[in-house]
Amino acid sequence: MKHVHKLVWIGLFVNIIICFVARNLLLDEGQLNFHHRADSMWSWLVLALFIAVVVQAVSIMLSGRYPYLAIVLAFIGGIVMVPASMIFLVGCMFSFQTRINAGFTPWRSTTGAMGRDDNQQLLTFNASGFYPQGALALIAGIIILMIGMGIGGVFIAAGIVALCNGYRLQNRVVIGVSGESMIFTPGLYADTYVIPLGDVVLAERGNNDAKVRLRIRSSGRSFTLRKKLLAGDNVNDAFAAILAKLSTV
């Protein structure tokens, strides 16, 4: 269970609390009744919340051995409780990436070290794009809630996640080369790893390198990079220089 992110446990705890609060509110109002037509809708809703939490717990138990099945179950169980389950779902995405990338060596560096090493070519996430997305989602969510539509909460949760991603990824390396090693982050919720440069193959290359697909020989894993998501000094030239060091299929 070491791969399970702390947000998963926090989110699961929050979801369990929500289930019991909803149940107790219905009991206090005398509406927890599956036989009375007027109350059955709320009763079935509470039952669905409890089932969703059970599915979420099962996804955690399966995440170590069956990560792909676990992430599907996590979203099935989590979607029922959105936006409250966003904490749980974000934690599951962190956990999923940690589990499937367990064979890679994590890379650590400080900004100062990055700048001093002339042998490194590093490109970071273009995190600035997350801020307007998050702000628009927040504004839209507030407006939708004000007109009485509950789906506004989903927009607000999505906006908060986008803003957090912008802050979290602003100095995170997406791809880079350091000597005979490649540094890469395979996903928004993944850690940054280092692997031998010779283990990476340029499997697919789009027009003007707008989108490229890299494959890792040792694991068979592939991941896609889009140039518009990259930031750094002279992105076009730096990206081309990094790709030039990779072998092709």
CA–CA distance, 124 with 102 (Å, rounded to integer): 22
The pTM is what?
0.84
Task: Supply the mean pLDDT for the chain.
Answer: 85
**Statement: residue 29 has pLDDT above 90:** no
> Between the CA of residue 219 and those of 10, 100, 102, 197, 215, what are the distances in Å?
32, 10, 11, 14, 9
The residues, ordered by sequence, that sit 6+ positions from 85 with a Cβ below 8 Å of its Cβ are 11, 15, 52, 56, 77, 78, 79
Encoding tokens for residue 170? 């602003």
**Lowest mean pLDDT: which of 22-31, 54-63, 163-172, 232-241?**
22-31
Contact present, 196 and 217 (Cβ < 8 Å): no
Encoding tokens for residue 62? 């399966």
Contact present, 6 and 98 (Cβ < 8 Å): no
Res 117: pLDDT = 56
Nearest alpha carbon to residue 231 among 182, 167, 169, 178? 169
> Between the CA of residue 231 and those of 161, 172, 183, 239, what are the distances in Å?
20, 10, 15, 10
> Between the CA of residue 117 and those of 171, 172, 195, what are the distances in Å?
16, 17, 18
**Statement: residue 38 has pLDDT above 50:** no
Report the side by side order of strands in the sheet with 211-216.
222-226, 211-216, 200-205, 247-248
- pLDDT above 90 coverage of the chain, percent: 44
More confident of the two residues 118 and 197: 197
